[in-house]
A and B are shown apart, each in its own frame.
Chain A
């Protein structure tokens, strides 16, 4: 048991923040994938991205921002700004979905890429601000136990927005309509509020 004997620390279960960070990483990867691919692969990556982003931002709004608002110094100011950024991003995302749904996927042209690039920069910047101004400080104030409990809620949200592990090479994706992927946000919100009611 080579590995066992080399372990000096106990295995650490990922907490809510770890899971949200993993989603940030996945969002970054999907943006890159959409920008770097064409045709079916691009449509699939974009659908995954819309679903993941909608789920992710909603999960943050329901699970982590409320605690940060209460626990962090200047929590209101920090979180209000994050929510503004998330609202802007959602607006841009909805615009992109409209664009892409136009003409059966033929709306994903150069102007789509330019607009996607703008959304990408906004989302990446937003994510880094969360990491620096919110997540890091929350780890120190919210307590490990609390964050580990919240991981369950983040997992529940993620289950409602599955993404493809690898781009599929076979399934014809030409008929993807992106609007429904946006609606994941509502399902996630309902589910998380349900969970919260049950826990009260």
Chain B
């Protein structure tokens, strides 16, 4: 398999791009493969995480020479982020981008869950994916109400749109969001890469919702973004606590760069649009040089070799965007009523969960339920895409369907 440690990539000093090179042609929102949009969204999250992590590290680093090196790579990563995110077209509304974000979260997390070797980590992804799956359904109903369009325009029929674990139940005491972390010395390298990837994606979702939400004028839109952005806050805690806190800054840098190589390499394999594929390839070549510098820092400050962190086998099986319908239906059927207690998962509505629910909902229907009520009132139905038959959980079928059935 491709081993990023064995390649030097484009020399760092040749990685700064000018305005013309930064000014990329956006994708066509109507004709694009929805999974191309997902790859853009996922890689944007990865670059944002890379930039922000390096900004943090610079604040904790007291060698001027190294601060300069970090500042330089961070600038280059920032240009990568601008290129990737600027592939999104201005004629898309924030809500359409939001549908893309949730589709990304659903199908990326589902792929990771299916491929995660560690059962505890796998459970974390299986738990989380059912929540973003439900967000997609809530936003799709909002989209039809506010913009009079159908989410199928954005997600096509690749991802189903129907209830997952109901969003109301996602609000838990933050204590219960904290997971056990993997062990940096014994865990499979795939687990480290999966955790970083999903963490980066969820963090970007949180940042996006909490910043874009107030731009809407419709009260229900503002409220729904506020609600779901707070769940994404919890998702970030959920995933970031999977990472081993004993990993050093230099080790994390190596993992970040290695993971960027992994994702650009993966998406390059799968990309259907040749123009976009060329960008993934270029960025992979840039990341290889970032990785080299991170490895030097690891040797110098930690006295360790990168192979001790990421092994010698090269990249794992490529990450793919693909439909996960059967898998998701299976998870819905078996895990929809789970909540969290301590570092684990339970079915009962325990005391801390109940108290938190009472506190946050204040005895009223939260925005995620009102958006469905209002949609039903206006259209006489909900917005769903159920391509594989009726909803697997009877209580989560549309009311009319329940009556008929």
A: residues with CB less than 8 A from B are 2-3, 6-12, 14, 18, 21-22, 24-25, 28, 31-32, 35, 120, 124-125, 128, 131, 136, 139-140
Q: Does B376 contact A (CB under 8 A)?
A: yes
Residues of A within 8 A of B65 (CB): none
Cα-based distance from A5 to B376 in the complex (angstroms): 12
- B339-378: which have CB < 8 Å to A? 365, 370, 373-374, 376-378
Check if B62 is an interface residue, CB within 8 A of chain A.
no
In the complex, B217 has a CB within 8 A of chain A = yes
List chain A residues, Cβ under 8 A from B370: 8-9
Asked if B150 lies at the interface with its beta carbon under 8 angstroms from chain A, I say: yes
Other than A21-B149, A24-B148, give 20 A-B pairs with Cβ distance below 8 A.
A2-B400, A2-B402, A6-B376, A7-B376, A8-B373, A9-B373, A10-B377, A11-B377, A11-B378, A14-B378, A21-B147, A25-B147, A28-B30, A28-B149, A31-B30, A32-B31, A124-B30, A125-B90, A125-B91, A136-B217
| Docked complex: B193-215 residues within 8 A CB-CB of A | none
Bound CA–CA A40/B404 (angstroms): 39
Whether the pair B365, A8 counts as a contact (CB closer than 8 A) is yes
Answer whether A2 and B31 are a contact pair too, CB < 8 Å, given A11-B377, A25-B150: no
Contacts of B376 in A (CB 8 A): 3, 6-7
Q: Are A9 and B148 in contact (CB under 8 A)?
A: no
Q: List 27 A-B contacts (CB under 8 A).
A: A2-B402, A3-B399, A6-B376, A6-B399, A7-B376, A7-B377, A9-B370, A11-B378, A12-B374, A12-B377, A21-B148, A22-B148, A24-B148, A24-B149, A25-B153, A28-B30, A28-B149, A31-B30, A35-B31, A120-B30, A124-B91, A125-B90, A125-B91, A128-B90, A128-B93, A131-B147, A136-B217
Q: Does B275 contact A (CB under 8 A)?
A: no
Given A25-B150, A136-B217: A7 and B373 interface contact (C-beta under 8 Å)? yes
> What is the chain A residue whose CB lies nearest that of B374?
A9
Given contacts A21-B148, A31-B30, A125-B91, contact A9 B377 (CB under 8 A): yes
For the complex, give the distance between the alpha carbons of A15 and B144 in Å.
15
Across the interface, B148 reaches (CB within 8 A) one of A2, A18, A136, namely A18
Q: Which 4 A-B pairs have the closest CB atoms?
A: A21-B148, A2-B399, A25-B149, A22-B148
B403 within 8 Å of A (CB atoms): yes
Query: Quick one: CB contact mask for B365-404 with A, threshold 8 Å, 1 for yes?
Result: 1000010011011100000000000000000000110110
CA distance A164 to B331 in the complex (A): 41
Q: Could you tell me the distance between the alpha carbons of A157 and B45 in the complex, rounded to whole angstroms? A: 45
A139-B377 CB under 8 A given contacts A18-B148, A31-B30:
no
Minimum CB distance partner of A7 in chain B: B377
Residues of B within 8 A of A3 (CB): 376, 399-400
Q: How far is the CA of A128 from the CA of B377 in the complex (A)?
A: 26
Residues of A with C-beta under 8 A to B403: 2
**Shortest distance between the CB of A162 and any CB in chain B (Å):** 19
Query: Which of A8, A125, A136 has the most B CB atoms < 10 Å from its CB?
Result: A8
Q: In the assembly, what is the distance between CA of A22 and CA of B148, in Å?
A: 5
| Binary contact readout B290-334 vs A (1 if CB under 8 angstroms, 0 otherwise) | 000000000000000000000000000000000000000000000
- List the B side residues contacting A6 at CB < 8 Å: 373, 376, 399
> Chain A contacts of B377 at CB under 8 A?
7, 9-12
A7, B153: Cα distance in complex, Å: 27
Distance of A22 Cα from B403 Cα, bound (Å): 30
C-alpha gap A92/B91 in the complex (Å): 20
On chain B, the residues within 8 Å of A128 by CB distance are: 90-91, 93
In angstroms, Cα B373 to Cα A14, docked, is: 16
The answer to whether B30 and A32 touch across the interface, beta carbons within 8 angstroms, is yes
Give, as a whole number of angstroms, the nearest-CB distance from A156 to chain B: 19
Residues from chain A with a CB closer than 8 A to the CB of B217 are: 136, 139-140
Interface-centre pick from B30, B148, B153 (highest chain A CB count, 10 A) = B148
Could you tell me the distance between the alpha carbons of A124 and B148 in the complex, rounded to whole angstroms? 15
Set of chain A residues within 8 Å of B148, measured between Cβ atoms: 18, 21-22, 24-25
Task: Report the separation of the CA atoms of residues A3 and B372 in the bound assembly, to the nearest whole angstrom.
Answer: 11
**Minimum CB–CB distance for A37 against chain B, Å:** 13
Per the 8 Å Cβ criterion, residues 27-68 of B in contact with A are 30-31
From A22, which residue of chain B is reached at the shortest CB distance? B148
B51 CB to closest chain A CB (Å) equals 29
**What is the chain B residue whose CB lies nearest that of A31?**
B30
User: With the chains together, A140 CA to B370 CA distance in Å?
Assistant: 21
B residues within 8 A CB of A10?
Answer: 377
Distance in angstroms between the alpha carbons of A28 and B90 in the assembled complex: 16
Q: What's the nearest-Cβ distance from chain B to residue A146, in Å?
A: 17
A38 CA / B365 CA spacing, docked (Å): 49
Expressed in whole angstroms, the Cα–Cα distance for A113 and B284 within the complex equals 35
Query: C-beta contact mask, B217-243 vs A, less than 8 Å → 1, else 0?
Result: 100000000000000000000000000
- Tell me, in angstroms, the Cα distance from A7 to B392 when the chains sit together: 24
- Report the Cα distance A125→B30, complex, angstroms: 12
Which among A6, A10, A18, A139 has the greatest number of chain B C-beta atoms within 10 A? A6
B272 → chain A, closest Cβ, in Å?
16
User: Contact string, B147-172, partner A, CB cutoff 8 A, digits 1/0?
Assistant: 11110010000000000000000000
With a cutoff of 8 Å between Cβ atoms, the chain B residues found around residue A21 in the complex are 147-149
Chain B residues lying within 8 Å of A12, measured Cβ to Cβ, are: 374, 377-378
Shortest distance from the beta carbon of B379 to any chain A beta carbon, whole Å = 9
User: How far, in Å, is B139 (CB) from chain A's closest CB?
Assistant: 17
